[in-house]
Amino acid sequence: MAVPLFNLAPDLSVSRLCLGTMTFGEQNSMSESFRLLDHAFDAGINFFDSAEMYPVPQRADTQGRSEEHLGRWVRDRKIPRDRVVLATKESSIKFSMKVSGPSGQMTWIRDGPKCLDAWNISEAIDNSLLRLRTDYIDLFQIHWSDRFCIFNRYVPMFGKFEYDPTHQYSAITVEEQLEALGRAVSSGKIRYVGLSNETPYGVMKFLHVAKRVPSYPKVVSVQNCYSLLCRTFDSGMAECCHHERISLLAYSPLAMGILSGRYSEGESRYNLSNSIVTAAVMGYLKIADKYGLCPVALAIAFVLRHPLVASAIFGATKRWQLQEVLDACSVELSPEIVAEINQIHANYPNPCP
């Protein structure tokens, strides 16, 4: 069964599964990356997501390799450019992301830029185009919307729930960012613009500013975490996206592998000694077992049934992991299964934000 498509924007149809590439160049060699990309593409996946900071964990000597592997694959396999949708993200941030949140400086990316201003946006786009070996990027996304840049917008994330006004700094304006993105669209370097790790305020601010100036591009998507263990998107963001016709690109649908029922990288980020996290995971695994489903199928099918989800962004380091996700694409959850899922969520809401 071929992976179905979703109309993300005019003349931009993306597969409902998107292969993330953040392991390419670190956990996966060039040849391994090619094999994964081949298998995904042959199965009907046309949507591939990267970022200038990838692979992770991020290091100066590997930065940009994920984009390079993806670009080399398109070129070496002689795939017509209009048959793939390439998405990438800038990483113009003061801080690098580690297990506990932001820490350290990625000084190897434009000397550790302190803000996401017009110059950094332009440089990020040009450098990604070179690494991807392409003339244009289909979807260019603002990775963290300047929230972790010193002197810029603050937003609590990665397990932080309460907004502290004293942490707010003066930020690069949305106007400056959209003007730079608009120039990139006009010049043909990017086709569409998206946000990532955003809040309802951030989404509405970008939309409000874009409506005032015809040359400013409208945001078409937001790439936020969404899974059985993290449904915070539904608490405000979903309403914004529904009324403004913005689609969710749901990343980490397996909660970094925890929902597969096997040992995963997620165990280093999410505290599985926390009884609430463990109880929630075990609850979902029991539902999958009860109905004869692979845990991966349950998790992916749950995300894809959301009416605002355009595509689920997942990662795989092995072909069999990729195949499990592909198989999940044909699974439909019955009302009984959904009811049991919602009961687990009511008992243990969002234990892995």
Q: For 241-263, how does the pLDDT look when each residue is reduced to its tens digit (9 = 90+)?
A: 999 999 999 999 999 999 999 86
307-335 per-position pLDDT tens digit: 999 999 999 999 999 999 999 999 999 99
Residues whose CB falls within 8 Å of the CB of residue 235, separated by 6 or more in sequence, listed in order: none
In the annotation, is 54 catalytic?
yes
Bridge-based pairing state of the strands 96-98 and 17-20: unpaired
- Give the span between the Cα atoms of 304 and 228, in whole angstroms: 11
Nearest to 9 by CA among 205, 200, 245, 183: 245
Nearest to 253 by CA among 293, 287, 298: 298
The angle formed by the CA atoms of residues 263, 268 and 269, to the nearest 5 degrees, is 120
288-302 per-position pLDDT tens digit: 999 999 999 999 999
Residue 95 has pLDDT above 90, yes or no: no
Nearest 5°: phi and psi at 327?
-65, -30
- Give the span between the Cα atoms of 220 and 285, in whole angstroms: 34
Strand ranges, E, within the chain: 5-9, 12-15, 17-20, 47-49, 85-90, 96-98, 101-103, 137-142, 190-196, 219-225, 247-251, 309-314
Confidence of residue 271 (pLDDT cuts 50, 70, 90): confident
- Would you state the structure tokens that stand for residue 36, as one six-digit string? 């994964």
- Give the span between the Cα atoms of 68 and 73, in whole angstroms: 8
pLDDT of residue 262: 85
Confidence of residue 69 (pLDDT cuts 50, 70, 90): very high
Q: Which of 54, 226, 284, 348 is catalytic?
A: 54
